[in-house]
Amino acid sequence: MAELKSTDSGIFLCPSRDGLSNGETFRQLDDFNYFTGLEFPNSMLVINSYNDQIILFAPHTDFRFEAASRKNDFPGRPLGDDPELKVKSGIIDIRPFEELDEFIKSNVDAHRKFKVNFNSLVPGEINEIKTSYISSWSSEQALIYHLQQTFPIIQIESAYEDVGHLRIIKSPIEIETLRKAADITVEGIKAAVKYIKAGVDERTLEAEMEATFKRLGSPRIAFASIIKSGPNSLWPWRILASHYERRNRKMENGELVIFDVGCEYKNYVSDIGRTFPVSGKFSDEQKRILTMETAVSDAIIAAIKPGVTFAELKKVADAVIPDNEKKYMQVGLFFGHHLGLSTGDPNDSHAKLAPGMVFTVEPWYYNHDKNIAVFTEDEVLVTDTGVEILSKALPRTPEALEKLMKSK
């Protein structure tokens, strides 16, 4: 089991996912999975740094496996009552979930501080969670709200930095799993490229790519696949996703089609992006812009090594972008994001790069004046001596991308 080392005392509460699958295969919350390796529903991991306690509060049985009217179909499954649980998890102190309230109350009464992994932008004490008429809450928000309503004097702080400092460095096993996820995504994109031509719609490319993911061992996509062509390519995903049919247009010659996609493998994810010409050949202007954009990416990647900061990488990017293109380039401090159990793995934007960090490099280019958007996204691993590009098997220059399309 992974060990959380807090910078100061506190009781870390790590919830597991609710047991209902809503039609999808159950997937545990990232932190609970990371710290326990378990797929238990409706449980709570507690890491108490006041006295070095690690406690798992778990229900006796899994309610998903029980139905009084269909005992033959739903024979039951033990959770907290599983005699092998301590061996499987490495957690010695396992208690009935019903005892969690009293545990929290006694520590609140003792004026002890609690921590929940929430709100990466504002460290320290978590303010009251407000309700609204329409909202989508994370499991952590629901937990915080419940704690604040049940124990009005409770003190809750964000554990984001504590969790981020641990999860930001990947173990050798995690790195190998991330490599495999990247390899599967590369092969999926290569499979979909065979179907790029005028008259084909975007969802056809998604279907061919995602089918390849599953054939190669990926149980699910890491996020809704972003494959966008022509005018669609000029809009970020949150805009495209707000219109049902906007993300299924038929491609036309002369247009570009952008892939921003990833699969999941053994709970670890990938995220890779490329731009292809629908006709199989870039125009001179498309080639110029893509070459400029990949040069920015190349400069960032070349500067990656242990000890460098993200702020320094941003300076490298800013220095390479031509002045007349700066307003079209999206290269903030987060020109990419960390990868692991999710495409938004916890991180520390002020940290120096260290071996074992895995993140994306993805300078975006959206030019609404010329109606051209290009996108290149690579996955990189910081090594002892520099950087390894996990997505290197996928071509990225205009000439190499055209060659890949000709080989279909």
- CB atoms inside a 10 Å sphere around CB 406: 9
Average pLDDT on 374-397 reads: 97
Average pLDDT on 265-287 reads: 98
Average pLDDT on 395-405 reads: 97
pLDDT for 7 beyond 70: no
pLDDT at 124: 76
The pair of three-digit structure tokens given for residue 133, joined into one six-digit string: 């008429």
Contact 45, 90 (CB under 8 A): no
Inter-axis angle of helices 172-193 and 398-406, to 10 degrees?
60
Rounded to whole angstroms, the Cα distance separating 62 from 100 reads 17
More confident residue, 317 or 349: 317
Contact 205, 226 (CB under 8 A): no
pLDDT for 378 beyond 70: yes
pLDDT at 350: 83
Average pLDDT on 291-296 reads: 96
The pairing of beta strand 263-265 with beta strand 272-277: unpaired
Rounded to whole angstroms, the Cα distance separating 407 from 250 reads 22
pLDDT for 342 beyond 90: yes
pLDDT at 120: 67
% of the chain surpassing 70 pLDDT: 94
Average pLDDT on 252-267 reads: 97
Structural domains of the chain sorted by starting position, each given as residue range(s) with its CATH number in brackets: 11-166 (3.40.350.10), 168-406 (3.90.230.10)
pLDDT at 24: 77
pLDDT at 8: 67
More confident residue, 30 or 241: 30
pLDDT at 348: 83
The average confidence (pLDDT) of the chain is: 92
Q: How many residues does the chain have?
A: 408
Q: How far is CA 218 from CA 53, 192, 195, 341, in A?
A: 36, 16, 21, 14
Average pLDDT on 47-60 reads: 95
pLDDT for 1 beyond 80: no
Given the structure tokens 């702020």, which residue do they identify?
311
pLDDT at 183: 98
pLDDT for 39 beyond 90: no
Average pLDDT on 254-266 reads: 97
pLDDT at 62: 87
With bands split at pLDDT 50, 70 and 90, how would you rate the model's confidence at 154? very high
Q: Which of 63-72, 160-169, 216-225, 331-340 has the lowest mean pLDDT?
A: 331-340
Residue 259: beta bridge partners?
Answer: 227, 274
Given the structure tokens 């989508």, which residue do they identify?
136
Per-residue pLDDT reduced to its tens digit, 76-133: 888 889 988 898 889 999 999 999 999 999 999 999 999 999 876 667 788 888 888 9
pLDDT at 333: 59
Per-residue pLDDT reduced to its tens digit, 323-339: 999 999 976 655 789 99
